Amino acid sequence: MDHTFDILVIGSGAAGLALALKLAPQASVALLSKDGLSAGSTSRAQGGIAAVLAEGDSIDSHIADTLEAGAGLCDPEAVRFIAENGPRAVNFLIELGVPFSRSGGVEEGYAYHLTREGGHSHRRIIHVEDATGRAVQETLEARAREAGNITIFENHVAIDLITDRHLAKNASGENGSGAGGNQCHGAYVLDIASGGVEAFMARATVLATGGASKVYLYTTNPDGSTGDGIAMAWRAGCRVANMEFNQFHPTCLFHPDAKSFLLTEALRGEGAHLLLPDGERFMKRFDKRGELAPRDIVARAMDHEMKRLGLDCVYLDISHKNPDFIIGHFPNIYRRCREFGFDITRERVPVVPAAHYTCGGVMTDLSGRADINRLYLIGEAAHSGLHGANRMASNSLLECLVMADAAAADITRRLNSLPGNAKARAWDESRVTDSDEEVVVSHNWDEMRRFMWDYVGIVRTDKRLERAQRRVDMLAGEIHDYYRNFRVTADLLELRNLVTIADLIIRSAAARPESRGLHYNKDHPDLLPVARNTILTPEITSGEHIRPN
C-alpha cells in the first residue's frame, strides 16, 4: 500500500519531532521511526542544551567557544545563526512544558540552573537534572501523539529515497516528476510487522535520522544509530562533508553489563577529576583546561595514557564533592552506577572513551535544504557547518531545535508550490528469496565494527586507513550481492547503510593529511596552513535501479 502526505519526516528524535510539531498546523505529516519513538539518541542525552540565557554571557562568547572547538572548520555564518536562535529554541521547549532544573528547586520564581561543560567559557547549559534528553523526548513525543495532523508510523525502516529515476512512466514515457532537476518524492519503507515494502510519497521529505556511531565497536549510541539518512542521501546524489570527524565521548562506564552508558560531561563541569590507577590527575599534562578541555583532547589523552600504561580504563572521581550535591544534580547517574556496584559519592568509577557523535554529514544550507530539491536534513545527519572538526558539548540538541525551526519555516513558505502528484514504481521482489544465511549479516556487521575501531578510531595512521579501505571494499561487494538476492530485513538495511558510512569515513580520513580536531593521524601530526572541508561527491548512474537491477 502506498501513502501520500504533504511532509514525510524520517526520524523521531528532537529534530524530527520538533519539525513535525511546527508543520502540523498547516500540513499533513507522516512521522516514521524504525523502532519506538523514544529509541533514538535524544532520550540518552544527559547534559543539556547550550544557549545564552545568563547575565554575563553573550552570543559572541558562545560563537567564539564554538569556533575554537571546531578547529578552524566551523562555518561562522552557521555558528552565529544557531547561537542567536538558541534562546528562542529553549523557550519553545519551556512553552511545551519541559521541566528544566531550577537553581533553588522546582518552585516558581527560581532561575533556571545552568551548568558548564568542556569548551564553554560560561555556564550556559540548561538541563533537566542529568536526563535532559529524556525529558525533551518525552515532552515532544507527547505533543506529537496529541497532534491531529501527524500520523505516526513506528517500526518502519526507510530503505531508499524516491527520486525522479524511481517514478512510474506516464503515457508519453516520461517519469512524471513535473519539475526540472532531480527531485525527492518520498521514500521506500519496510514495514517490519508485515515484511512488506511501501512507498511514502510527499511534497517534501525530511531526514532527521541521527548519526552513525554504531559503525564502531564501542559507542554510547543506541543500536539504531546506523547512519541511515546519510547513506540514503548519498545514494540519491547528495554530497557529504567531514565524515572523518567522529567524536568519542571520553567517559563511558567501563563495565561488562553497562552497555553504552555514558557519564555526562557535566560531571567534569561540576568538578569531577580524571585519574590514573595510582590516583594521579593527568589532564593538565595535555591541556591547561584539564578535564574541561574539548572532548577530542580529553579522549586522546585518555587513549594515550591507557596505551602507555597498558590499562583497560582510567577513572572518573567526583567523590570529593558533597554527597547531597552529587545526588541532587546527578540522580539518574547515581542510581545507574549503584546498579552496577559503584557509589559515585564515595568512590571513583572506571571509564573509557566510546564513539559518540558524527560531526560530518550531508551538506545543507541554513534552511536544511540538501542538494536534491525537496529534500531536507536536520540534526546529526546533516552538515550544517556548526560543528567543524569537533562538536562542542551540548550544541547538538541546540542544532536539532534551531534547524528544525528553520526547515519548518522554509517548507511552509514553499509548500503550496511543491507538486505532489508523482507516483513511484512498485517495489520489485520478483527475483529475490528469503535468506537462509543470516549469519552472513551478523558476521559482516561484527567484522566491520571491529576493524573500524582498530584502524579508524581515536588515533589513525595511513597504513591503518589502507587496511580499513581494503576490508570495507570487500564487505561492500558481499553486502551488495546479498541485498540483490534476498528479501530486505531491518538488519540487512542497517548493515548496508553502515558499510556505506564506513567507506565515507575512511575515504574522508585518507583525504586529510593532517591532524585537526577529532581526526588525529600519527603520520601527519601537524595542521595544514589552510583549513578545508573534506567534501565527497557521489557518482550516480541511470543503472542504479530500485532493487534488484
Catalytic residues: 295
Which sign does the torsion angle of CA 288, 290, 296, 302 carry? positive
Q: Which residues contact 31 (CB under 8 A, 6 or more apart)?
A: 9, 12, 16, 17, 20, 144, 150, 151, 152, 153
Q: Are 59 and 80 in contact (CB under 8 A)?
A: yes
Q: Are 283 and 271 in contact (CB under 8 A)?
A: no
Q: How far is CA 74 from CA 8, 63, 391, 395, in A?
A: 29, 10, 9, 13
Closest C-alpha to 192, from 5, 378, 356, 39: 39
In angstroms and rounded to an integer, the radius of gyration of the C-alpha atoms of the chain is 23
- In whole angstroms, what is the distance from residue 419 CA to residue 421 CA? 6
Cell numbers describing residue 60: 559572541
What is the chain's length? 549
Q: Is the peptide bond before 538 cis (omega within 30 degrees of 0)?
A: no
Q: Is the peptide bond before 548 cis (omega within 30 degrees of 0)?
A: yes
Q: Are 121 and 394 in contact (CB under 8 A)?
A: no
Residue 102 identity:
R
In terms of DSSP bridges, do strands 375-377 and 197-207 run parallel, antiparallel, or are they unpaired? parallel
Q: Which residue has the cell 521482489?
A: 429
Residue 293 identity:
A
Cell numbers describing residue 344: 559515585
Residue 399 identity:
E
Q: How far is CA 59 from CA 80, 85, 122, 124, 405, in A?
A: 8, 10, 11, 11, 19
Angle formed by the axes of helices 395-414 and 14-23, nearest 10°? 30
Q: Are 213 and 224 in contact (CB under 8 A)?
A: no
- In whole angstroms, what is the distance from residue 549 CA to residue 544 CA? 7
Q: Which residues contact 266 (CB under 8 A, 6 or more apart)?
A: 46, 47, 48, 115, 116, 117, 125, 127, 130, 329, 330
- In whole angstroms, what is the distance from residue 383 CA to residue 359 CA? 7
Q: With H, G, I as helix, E, B as strand and everything else as coil, classify residue 244.
A: coil
